Structure 1
Amino acid sequence: MSNTSTQPVEVTAADVQGEGVVFCPNPKMPLWSNHPRVFINLSKSGEGKCPYCGTVYKLKDGEHLHHH
């Protein structure tokens, strides 16, 4: 059974760590779908895909990452 969703998980700039990183599995995922935590960089294209479960994370339209 795959946890792959057809819709990307939309994140805001406030959800992002550092300069554009989110982690998967995210806190909203059910416990049965846990896998090792991976960090997905959204800073280049605004989206990224988890290599374990295939979940796509995408920066919401209109959101901008603040680089230091």
Structure 2
Amino acid sequence: MKLVFAGFCDSKCSARCSKAGVQDSCLKYCRICCEKCQCVPSGTYGNKHECPCYRDLKNSKGKPKCP
């Protein structure tokens, strides 16, 4: 199951991070969020209402974790 999601997350996160200034960081956090939530919002920015789990994950400082 995890391998199936790895491919899903890679393709979704590649699209999500395609315009990010810091690609490596964006992809890293997007994949973490995707594996946890099994969802990535559409587009390169915003649309987080499509995926409440992804939207609501926070880092240790209380800021949004997912790009």
Q: Is the pair's TM-score, using the shorter chain for normalization, greater than 0.5? A: no
Bigger radius of gyration among the two: 1
Which structure is higher in RCO with an 8 Å CA cutoff and minimum separation 6? 1
Measured against the shorter chain, the TM-score band is under 0.3
So what's the TM-score if we normalise by structure 2?
0.27
More helix by share: 2
